[in-house]
Structure 1
Amino acid sequence: MIGITGATGHLGELTIQALLDGGTPAAEIVALVRNPEKAADLAAKGVQVRQANYNQPETLDSALQGIDKLLLISSNDVADRATPQRNVVEAAKRAGVKLLAYTSILRAGTAKMTMAEDHKATEEAIRASNIPFVFLRNGWYLENQNIAQTAQHGVLAGSAGKGKLSAASRADYAAAAAAVLTLPDQEGKIYELGGDQAFTLAELAAEVQAVSGNPVKFQNMPEAEYAGMLKGYGVPAPLADKLADAETRQSEGELYTDSGDLSKLIGRPTTPMKQWVKDTLQG
């Protein structure tokens, strides 16, 4: 049995679809969700649906019973991911999970970005649990960039300077998660995952301009100024600060990787930035 936490989120749904497309029987997949009512489409496919809330440990023990392999998709609670994720790890140990795959962040063990702190703490908790693990250290998602808004307003703001971004699509990362859950001999593997073709935000802005036909420029800003701009647009302060910090770390190379791990895992090239821009703006 394969369990997927956060199964109604974007990455969770794509991972389940990748498992189904790869031949995993629906009856062997368990969608672990906070609200089972939102998983009706998964249940209709024959996937088991169980309630599981990272912040309610009492829901986790029964939800994880019989799970052999578990994908722990990182929480979207940027204020504190580590505590609720530790709840899942402890429940997985009690349930006898045989392989725990975790969606971490690029170079979590050494990264300086504040966004990496909870991921590092979760990796440490998994190691301490002695559950055989796989760390999927995901780089940036192409979908993190709101290029429709960029095309409309003509400005892509940030604090990344000329730093290169090894971004890939959610579907690419989902395919990698499905791969480690179905391939043999994954215990102890650590994958540094990112797109094959890195790019700067200025290059992204130029591509948005080329596809949209609207003038678009990249506006580099000091970190504090960029964080303030995000807060002005309604982004919660903790998230705004972490996003601005991540861009500064991008300028230092923390969001770049040439490992090739992602394309090797999924058996194909990752989604090119130019193709993603075209599909997003014209699709």
Structure 2
Amino acid sequence: MKIGISGASGHLGQKVLSFLAAHGAGHSVIGISRTPATLADPAEGREGDYDHPESLVRAYQGLDRLLIIPSADLRPGVRGRQLKAAIDAARQAGVEHVVLVSAAGTKEAEEPSIGAPYWDGEQHLIRTAPRWTILRMNYYAESMADEIKSSLGAGVLAGLGPERVAYVSRDDVAAAAAGILAGEGHAGAIYNATGAAVVTGEERAAIVSELTGAPVGFAVLTQEQLAGGLAQAGLPEPVVSVVLDIKRNFVAGAFDIVTNDVERLAGRPATPLRDVLAAVLKA
């Protein structure tokens, strides 16, 4: 069986390649990227660019299963267009089963909402792919760790509300994706890759206090206050808008969901947020 990873040179894609290599089982693994030369063995590298669909059709030829990882391009309308193009290219190339990485809490939304491309991608996949699986991931624990590192000097973490989130590690998402690609019985399923427990903003601050040995609090701000603080920190307006959208989703409960899908698909328990924070803050 030939398995392709589209977006293979990114952090998640590289980890999926590693887990598939560990699976063995005689599968051929193909990494698809704008920069295939950067991919490590044992993956075969093929050039494929989300902004050039014709390259994707060539790259997806001969694949039995394909994982589509969204790009990091957050400009309104771009990711949704890219995902639809990749799904269409897979159909043109004759790929039998497409697995899409999506986001927890995905629901009908319009641009410029950060959730709009996931909704559009999921709907297009379901309508057009012969066989499909969707892996919705919770918010990356590593992304929250980076946010915390930038806030340590202030001694306070900020949010728009309680922020109930079941943070998931990138390793766990990758292992779950590899489990789908190398396994059987996943067609038509929508999985949620989450951490083992929901963590509130105050609980997150308490974990950081314990790990650093310094008092860290959690403050609920208005959107105007948070936007002003982010701008003062030097973040450009498009990034500030994305952060506010994510924080609004936290408060709305989009990531307030816990499943055992990581353990089911990866064969191991989900990594606690505390473990990820400990590793990142120590580094």
The two structures have a TM-score, normalised by structure 1, of 0.91
Instruction: Report the CA distance between 1:201 and its aligned residue.
Output: 1.8
Is the CA contact (8 Å cut-off) linking 2:65 and 2:97 kept in structure 1?
yes
- Asked if 1:186 corresponds to 2:182, the answer is no
Residue equivalent to 1:165: 165
Is the CA contact (8 Å cut-off) linking 1:194 and 1:256 kept in structure 2?
no
Residue equivalent to 2:70: 74
Residue equivalent to 1:94: 92
Q: Partners in 2 of 1:252 and 1:176 — Cα distance?
A: 26
Residue equivalent to 1:143: 142
Farther-moved stretch of structure 1 (246-255 vs 137-146): 246-255
Is the CA contact (8 Å cut-off) linking 2:21 and 2:42 kept in structure 1?
no
Instruction: Report the CA distance between 1:260 and its aligned residue.
Output: 2.4
Q: Which runs of 5+ in 1 are unaligned?
A: none
Instruction: Report the CA distance between 1:111 and its aligned residue.
Output: 7.3
Q: What secondary structure does 2:235 align onto?
A: coil
1:191-270 equivalent positions in 2, closer than 5 A = 191-270=191-270
Instruction: Report the CA distance between 1:173 and its aligned residue.
Output: 0.4
- Asked if 1:2 corresponds to 2:3, the answer is yes
- After superposition, the Cα gap between the structure-2 partners of 1:132 and 1:227, relative to the gap in structure 1 and judged at 3 Å, is farther
Is the CA contact (8 Å cut-off) linking 2:97 and 2:129 kept in structure 1?
no
Cα deviation per residue 1:137-163 (whole Å; 9 max; x = unaligned)?
11100011123333344222222x213
Q: Partners in 1 of 2:227 and 2:28 — Cα distance?
A: 44
Amino acid of the structure 2 residue aligned with 1:12: G
Amino acid of the structure 2 residue aligned with 1:212: T
- After superposition, the Cα gap between the structure-2 partners of 1:125 and 1:240, relative to the gap in structure 1 and judged at 3 Å, is same
- After superposition, the Cα gap between the structure-2 partners of 1:77 and 1:24, relative to the gap in structure 1 and judged at 3 Å, is farther
- After superposition, the Cα gap between the structure-2 partners of 1:50 and 1:144, relative to the gap in structure 1 and judged at 3 Å, is same
Give the alignment partner of residue 108 of structure 1, picking from 103, 106, 111.
Answer: 106
Q: Partners in 2 of 1:13 and 1:137 — Cα distance?
A: 18
Amino acid of the structure 2 residue aligned with 1:71: L
CA RMSD of aligned residues (A): 2.0
Q: Partners in 2 of 1:111 and 1:202 — Cα distance?
A: 29
1:122-133 equivalent positions in 2, closer than 5 A = 122-133=121-132
Q: Partners in 2 of 1:131 and 1:230 — Cα distance?
A: 44
Amino acid of the structure 1 residue aligned with 2:174: A
Q: Partners in 2 of 1:152 and 1:20 — Cα distance?
A: 41
Amino acid of the structure 1 residue aligned with 2:200: T
Is the CA contact (8 Å cut-off) linking 1:193 and 1:257 kept in structure 2?
no
Q: Partners in 2 of 1:277 and 1:181 — Cα distance?
A: 29
Amino acid of the structure 1 residue aligned with 2:101: T
- Asked if 1:275 corresponds to 2:275, the answer is yes
Q: Partners in 2 of 1:55 and 1:203 — Cα distance?
A: 41
Q: Partners in 2 of 1:121 and 1:235 — Cα distance?
A: 28
Residue equivalent to 2:23: 22
Is the CA contact (8 Å cut-off) linking 2:5 and 2:66 kept in structure 1?
yes
Amino acid of the structure 2 residue aligned with 1:51: E
Cα deviation per residue 1:15-54 (whole Å; 9 max; x = unaligned)?
11111112255x7111101112322xx1xx2310011100
Give the alignment partner of residue 55 of structure 1, picking from 51, 56, 63.
Answer: 51
Amino acid of the structure 2 residue aligned with 1:239: V
Is the CA contact (8 Å cut-off) linking 2:80 and 2:118 kept in structure 1?
yes
Q: Partners in 2 of 1:111 and 1:24 — Cα distance?
A: 40
Instruction: Report the CA distance between 1:232 and its aligned residue.
Output: 3.6
Amino acid of the structure 1 residue aligned with 2:43: V
Instruction: Report the CA distance between 1:110 and its aligned residue.
Output: 5.3
- After superposition, the Cα gap between the structure-2 partners of 1:223 and 1:260, relative to the gap in structure 1 and judged at 3 Å, is farther
Farther-moved stretch of structure 1 (110-119 vs 87-96): 110-119
% identity of equivalent residues: 31
Structure 1 stretches of at least 4 aligned residues deviating more than 4 Å after TM superposition: 110-113
Q: Partners in 2 of 1:197 and 1:36 — Cα distance?
A: 37
Cα deviation per residue 1:160-179 (whole Å; 9 max; x = unaligned)?
x2131111100000011001
